[in-house]
């Protein structure tokens, strides 16, 4: 059976919230910025935690992204602020900062062990059984092991709940391409889960 | 197909949603501390007011927002939501009320308090600063505020500015009333305005009575000074010496001069 996936965070309400936020922020960045931190802190922290391979640095990455966003906003004209797509813009700042850090070698990616699945047997479908055995830490490891673009696409779409349009903006690609990055990422996760199940049978 | 997903993936997608995480405690404060002192979160307290509990929000620059707790069903979250709607800022509970708040609520005099009136127009700020001068137990007409701030024709605008008072009770917009003895509008309802004035011992029945007979001022024939009826000097005039006036011109013609404290008319230059 094929189900059409409904995004859990429909694009419209988020868009309305953002429109309201940027409209007020174009009048007074200082007054509204604390709200930006509160509303998007979890999005940025989760993205940092699930995309970077340095969970311990997730808070620093998210905080640095917000500080950079604040500096940029303080220098933008009101018109420019009103045109911002706030959520993908913030995520883009986060990811650029993360890539810069990797490039300058100040932090090195550490490989994540993928062989930590527990030994519990199950009678459900192979993938469900594998999922049931996996702790969330182990699913996070599988996500970490995806190629970078797929990893970002899957995390943004299915963990943080961005729309495909927003994922496309972050990845600087058309919506269709964003969708295929997401679905290839999901397929890769599924096949790893199946392999994992076969290994134990 | 990229937009559909089979039931096997559904469990996977749900598991992925479970990977959402919240930043460690204190994250917001740490970020705000790094961007500088300005956008610190405002704080709020709940205090006993003269007519029931009040939510009071304040930041580094002073008191910004007051709401009668009953207006939001005494729900702090509803107050925070209202504050956010109006000021775009979040609030966190404060450990202590701002300096002088308790004393100001007891005395009914808010002049020593610091208010943060950012975001209001100059006109609105002038109206509120003027209202702050009205002592407890006394009332002034809307037209008095308009004249005192140099905008004698802006009487209706004074009414709207008072209606948008972000810090009612502390800036006593309830002490501004119609000049016909009726008490006029109030953001939290006329019942509360009535209650606040009664609490300050303003005799509302008497004000209405004077209004009905169109008496606007009371003079003393021993001093030849005339006042608004609630002025502390007018309240001391004994019945035998009390002279009612309907207009300033009438008082003027009778040889009375306006009180220098309640200023029913601008003081005349002495020749």
* Residues in chain B closer than 8 A to A71 (CB atoms): 35
Residue B95 pLDDT more than 90?
Answer: no
Band of pLDDT at residue A182, cut at 50, 70 and 90: very high
pLDDT in tens, B188-227: 999 999 999 999 999 999 999 999 999 999 999 999 999 9
The DSSP code sequence of chain A is: -EEEPPPSS-HHHHHHHHHHHHHHHHH-HHHHHHHHHHHHHHHHHHHHHHHSS-GGGHHHHHHHHHHHHHHHHHHS-HHHHHT--HHHHHHHHHHHHHHHHHHTTSS---PPP----------S-HHHHHHHHS-HHHHHHHHHTS-HHHHHHHIIIIII---HHHHHHHHTS-HHHHHHHHHHHHHHHHHHHHHHHHHH-
Interchain contact, B35 vs A42, CB within 8 Å: no
**Residue A112 forms contact with B (CB below 8 Å):** no
Min distance A31 CA to chain B CA atoms (Å): 6
Tell whether the torsion through CA atoms of B236, B240, B245 and B251 is positive or negative. Answer: negative
Q: Choose the weakest-confidence range: A15-29, A155-169, B183-197.
A: A15-29
Instruction: Determine the pLDDT at residue A123.
Output: 42
**Residue A193 forms contact with B (CB below 8 Å):** yes
Distance (Å, whole) CA A94 – CA B246: 71
CB B230 within 8 A of CB B260: no
Interchain contact, B4 vs A5, CB within 8 Å: yes
Interchain contact, B6 vs A25, CB within 8 Å: no
Interchain contact, B16 vs A41, CB within 8 Å: no
| Cβ-based interface (< 8 Å): residues of B facing A | 1-13, 15-24, 27-28, 30-32, 34-35, 38-41, 84, 87-90, 119
Q: Which residue of B has its CA nearest to A184?
A: B2
Q: Which of B13, B27, B84 sits opposite A5 (nearest CB)?
A: B13
Q: Which CATH number fits domain A116-201: 3.20.20.70, 3.30.70.890, 1.10.8.60, 1.10.10.10?
A: 1.10.10.10
* Residues in chain A closer than 8 A to B64 (CB atoms): none
Q: Report ipTM for this prediction.
A: 0.78
- Quick one: average pLDDT of B34-50? 80
Residue B40 pLDDT more than 70?
Answer: no
Interchain contact, B90 vs A42, CB within 8 Å: no
Can you list the domains of chain B with their CATH numbers?
39-107 (3.30.160), 215-271 (3.40.10.10)
- B175-214 as b/e, with b when 16 or more CB fall inside 10 Å? bbbbbebebbbbbbeeebbbbbbeebebebeebeebbeee
Domain edges within chain A: 11-109, 116-201
Question: Pick the catalytic residue: B173, B231, B259, B262?
Answer: B173
Interchain contact, A28 vs B88, CB within 8 Å: yes
Instruction: Determine the pLDDT at residue A131.
Output: 67
Tokens of B27: 């994250």
| Biggest CA-to-CA distance, chain B | 97
pLDDT in tens, A125-146: 556 666 666 666 788 889 999 9
| Chain A residues 154-173 with a CB less than 8 Å from chain B | 154-155, 158-161
Interchain contact, B20 vs A33, CB within 8 Å: no
Instruction: Determine the pLDDT at residue B138.
Output: 96
* Residues in chain B closer than 8 A to A49 (CB atoms): 21
User: What proportion of chain A, given as a percentage, has pLDDT over 90?
Assistant: 46
State chain B's mean pLDDT as an integer. 90
Interchain contact, A50 vs B30, CB within 8 Å: no
Number of CB pairs, chain A paired with chain B, less than 8 A apart: 135
Task: State the architecture of A11-109 in CATH terms.
Answer: Orthogonal Bundle (1.10)
| Chain A residues 34-73 with a CB less than 8 Å from chain B | 34-35, 37-38, 41-42, 45-46, 49-50, 58-59, 62-63, 66-67, 70-71
State chain A's mean pLDDT as an integer. 80
* Residues in chain B closer than 8 A to A139 (CB atoms): 15-16, 18-19
Active site residue B173: yes
Interchain contact, A131 vs B22, CB within 8 Å: no
Instruction: Determine the pLDDT at residue A198.
Output: 60
User: What proportion of chain A, given as a percentage, has pLDDT over 70?
Assistant: 73
pLDDT in tens, A56-85: 789 999 999 999 999 888 777 778 888 899
């Amino acid at each position: 059976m094929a189900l059409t996936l409904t995004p859990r965070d429909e694009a419209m309400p988020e868009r309305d919230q953002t429109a309201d936020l940027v409209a007020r922020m174009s009048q007074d960045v200082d007054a509204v910025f604390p709200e930006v931190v509160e509303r998007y802190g979890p999005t940025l922290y989760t993205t940092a935690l699930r995309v970077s391979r340095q969970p311990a640095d997730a808070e620093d990455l998210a905080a640095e992204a917000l500080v950079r966003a604040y500096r940029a906003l303080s220098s933008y004209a009101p018109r420019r602020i009103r045109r911002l797509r706030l959520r993908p813009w913030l995520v883009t700042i986060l990811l650029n900062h993360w890539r810069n850090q990797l490039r300058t070698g100040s932090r090195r990616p550490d490989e994540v062990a993928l062989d930590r699945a527990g030994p519990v047997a199950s009678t459900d479908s192979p993938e469900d059984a594998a999922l049931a055995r996996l702790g969330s830490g182990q699913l996070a490891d599988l996500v970490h092991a995806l190629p970078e673009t797929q990893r970002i696409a899957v995390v943004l779409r299915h963990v943080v709940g961005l729309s495909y349009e927003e994922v496309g903006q972050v990845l600087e690609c058309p919506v269709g391409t964003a969708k295929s990055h997401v679905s290839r990422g999901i397929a890769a996760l599924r096949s790893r889960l199946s392999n994992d199940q076969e290994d134990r049978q | 197909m990229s937009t559909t997903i089979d039931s096997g993936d559904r469990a996977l997608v749900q598991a992925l949603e479970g990977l959402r995480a919240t930043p460690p405690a204190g994250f917001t404060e740490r970020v705000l501390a790094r961007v500088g002192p300005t956008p610190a979160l405002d704080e709020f307290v709940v205090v006993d007011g003269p007519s029931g509990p009040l939510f009071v929000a304040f930041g580094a620059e002073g008191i910004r927002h007051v709401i009668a707790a009953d207006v939001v069903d005494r729900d702090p979250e509803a107050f925070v939501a209202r504050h956010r709607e109006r000021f775009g800022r979040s609030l966190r509970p404060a450990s202590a009320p701002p300096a002088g708040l308790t004393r100001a609520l007891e005395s009914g005099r808010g002049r020593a308090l610091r208010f943060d009136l950012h975001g209001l127009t100059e006109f609105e700020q002038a109206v509120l600063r003027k209202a702050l001068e009205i002592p407890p137990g006394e009332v002034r007409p809307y037209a008095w505020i308009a004249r005192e701030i140099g905008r004698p024709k802006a009487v209706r605008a004074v009414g709207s500015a008072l209606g948008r008072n972000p810090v009612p009770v502390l800036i006593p917009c309830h002490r501004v009333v119609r000049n016909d003895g009726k008490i006029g509008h109030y953001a939290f309802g006329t019942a509360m305005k009535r209650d606040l004035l009664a609490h300050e011992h303003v005799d509302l029945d008497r004000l209405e009575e004077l209004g009905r007979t169109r008496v606007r001022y009371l003079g003393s024939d021993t001093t030849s000074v005339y006042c608004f009826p609630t002025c502390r000097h007018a309240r001391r005039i004994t019945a035998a010496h009390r002279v009612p006036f309907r207009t300033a011109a009438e008082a003027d013609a009778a040889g009375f001069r306006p009180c220098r404290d309640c200023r029913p008319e601008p003081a005349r230059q002495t020749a």
